[in-house]
């Protein structure tokens, strides 16, 4: 009897299935289920080389290479009605891995790297399972309760740029999720400053960004094609690097805070849609291709960026350039259906907003804003331009406006990036940036000074225009200041230097200008 051999991959692993041409369809499905190590109630999806979902049946073509995925559990099936069953499956998987590890150690004397990787994946899945109430619409409904989900903030050493395989895996997940309906609870939660970014993976984040463009009616107003928006979001994701702080999750946090501010302050009734589009897109692109080293390093090390932009905001100019490189490609140009004049206005607005995130211009912009506040007029273009710059600056440094369990891991990530830079500066014989020196900087003193000298003055002025921000933004920032001030007091007796300021190892407290640059890079 003629046999049919089908080639496919599952979890990135190549497999092949052999069965008679007259084999019943259910037997073929069971064969694929076995290859995926899936349970009887798990849902399988098979994709052909074109990426289309097809039936698992005896009519599969031998010459094609298919992709098999276990995408979800059947929520209507009684055996999977509770997380307890899922936890039991994870436990069984962990036990099988431990048994395999013991056997390999006995036979080969060491555990192969692939087993370590599988154990990491099981631990990662268990961690995610504990933070998810239930898996509806492929995991994009998260636990929105008050329970904290504090992750380990520290990045392991990874290649700076994302690999092609890593990007494609995230892209496939994003495309699969992008057509699914996001629950109303998530949509409302997305509009709040309390949003917890740590619960969401990169593909899910892209779906949430798509929701922002949809719910602000940008897609209909500016005639954006959904597939072009998806390609744009993917290209943005791809061009954020694997660094501790200035990564894709930071980009999302800044964009989400901008989105929240638009709703909190009712900007939809005060500014036109194009201004809102400029602000949201600027937030999304404001740190593209950041390598983890700030402008001071770029200039002192005479990097290519510093030479190209003549030491004038080299990073911010580069972020803008990368954004418009993405927009130069028709398949990712979300503005391609706009007139030349409208595109020109958007381009000018994005450049102005992204360049405003260079903290060297912090005082200048804040002084301008304070000067126009008493007579602020939303119909005055100059007034609106300054407000747009203030809003992106506030969004960029807004982590401390979030709940402590969300904000503090970001500070740990930022300090890791700072320490990395100061280590390199020492190795290369460059001037060491004071607020980044791991031998001098303490976490509480650095943050307390930053909140006092940068965050509160900025947010207080913004709240003078939008009083509602007193409760939503300023109160949490003041609580954060109390938290780090108390931590600083507790640290002083341990250092034996009660009379000294711990910031900078006994040096005088940072001035507004000195503190502004870390924030820059910062939050």
- What is the Cα–Cα distance from 123 to 106, expressed in whole angstroms? 24
Which of 34, 42, 2 is closest to 15 using CA atoms?
34
- What is the Cα–Cα distance from 479 to 493, expressed in whole angstroms? 23
Question: Which helix H or strand E contains 7, and what residues bound it?
Answer: strand 3-10
Which one of 156, 161, 246, 286 is the catalytic residue? Answer: 246
**Cβ atoms 8, 39 nearer than 8 A:** no
Strand partners, 42: 73
How many Cα atoms sit within 13 Å of 160 on the Cβ side?
7
Q: Tokens 């194009």, residue?
A: 274
| 246 tagged catalytic | yes
Cα pseudo-dihedral 269, 274, 275, 281, rounded to 10: 120
Cα pseudo-dihedral 481, 482, 485, 490, rounded to 10: -150
> Which two three-digit tokens encode residue 357?
């995130």
What's the Cα-to-Cα distance from 53 to each of 47, 49, 68, 454, rounded to whole Å? Answer: 4, 10, 10, 52
- What is the Cα–Cα distance from 392 to 254, expressed in whole angstroms? 8
How many helices (H) and strands (E) the chain has is answered by 22, 5
DSSP for 286-332? TTTT--S--HHHHHHTT-HHHHHTTTSSHHHHHHHHHHHHHHHSGGG
User: Would you name the residues annotated as active-site residues?
Assistant: 246
């Amino acid at each position: 009897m003629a046999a049919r051999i089908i080639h496919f991959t599952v979890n990135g692993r190549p497999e092949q299935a052999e069965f008679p041409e007259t084999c019943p369809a259910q037997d073929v499905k069971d064969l694929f289920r076995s290859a995926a190590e899936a349970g009887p109630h798990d849902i399988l999806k098979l994709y052909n080389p074109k990426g289309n979902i097809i039936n698992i049946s005896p009519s599969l073509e031998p010459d094609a290479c298919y992709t098999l995925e276990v995408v979800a559990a059947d929520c209507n099936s009684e055996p999977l009605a509770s997380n307890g069953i899922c936890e039991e499956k994870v436990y069984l998987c962990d036990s099988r891995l431990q048994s395999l590890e013991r056997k390999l150690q006995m036979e080969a004397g060491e555990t192969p790297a692939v087993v370590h990787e599988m154990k990491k994946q099981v631990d990662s899945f268990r961690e995610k399972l504990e933070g998810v109430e239930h898996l509806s619409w492929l995991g994009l409904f998260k636990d929105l309760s008050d329970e904290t989900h504090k992750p380990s903030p520290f990045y392991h050493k990874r290649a700076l740029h994302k690999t092609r395989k890593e990007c494609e895996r995230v892209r496939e997940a994003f495309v699969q999720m992008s057509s699914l309906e996001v629950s109303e609870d998530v949509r409302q939660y997305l509009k709040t400053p309390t949003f917890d970014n740590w619960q969401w993976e990169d593909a899910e984040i892209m779906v949430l960004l798509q929701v922002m463009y949809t719910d602000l009616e940008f897609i209909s107003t500016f005639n954006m094609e959904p597939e072009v928006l998806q390609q744009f979001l993917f290209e943005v994701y791809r061009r954020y690097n694997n660094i501790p702080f200035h990564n894709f999750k930071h980009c999302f946090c800044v964009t989400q805070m901008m989105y929240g501010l638009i709703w909190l302050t009712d900007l939809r009734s005060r500014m036109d849609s194009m201004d809102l589009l400029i602000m949201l897109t600027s937030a999304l692109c404001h740190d593209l291709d950041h390598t983890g080293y700030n402008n001071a390093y770029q200039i002192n090390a005479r990097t290519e960026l510093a030479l190209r932009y003549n030491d004038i905001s080299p990073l911010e100019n580069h972020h803008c350039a990368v954004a418009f490189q993405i927009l130069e490609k028709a398949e990712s140009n979300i503005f391609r259906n706009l007139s030349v004049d409208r595109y020109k206005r958007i381009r000018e607005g994005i450049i102005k907003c992204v360049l405003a995130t260079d903290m060297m211009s912090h005082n200048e912009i804040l002084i301008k804003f304070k000067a126009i506040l008493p007579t602020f007029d939303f119909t005055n273009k100059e007034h609106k331009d300054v407000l747009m710059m203030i809003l992106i600056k506030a969004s960029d440094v807004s982590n401390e406006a979030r709940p402590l369990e969300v904000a503090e891991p970001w500070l740990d990530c930022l300090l890791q990036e700072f320490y990395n830079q100061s280590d390199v500066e020492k190795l290369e014989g460059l001037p060491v940036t004071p607020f980044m020196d791991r031998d001098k900087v303490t976490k509480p003193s650095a943050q307390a000074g930053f909140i006092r000298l940068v965050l509160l003055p900025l947010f207080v002025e913004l709240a003078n225009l939008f009083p509602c921000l007193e409760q939503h933004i300023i109160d949490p920032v003041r609580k954060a200041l109390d938290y780090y001030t108390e931590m600083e007091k507790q640290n002083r007796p341990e250092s034996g230097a009660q009379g000294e300021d711990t910031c900078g190892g006994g040096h005088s407290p940072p001035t507004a200008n000195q503190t502004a640059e870390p924030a820059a890079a910062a939050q």
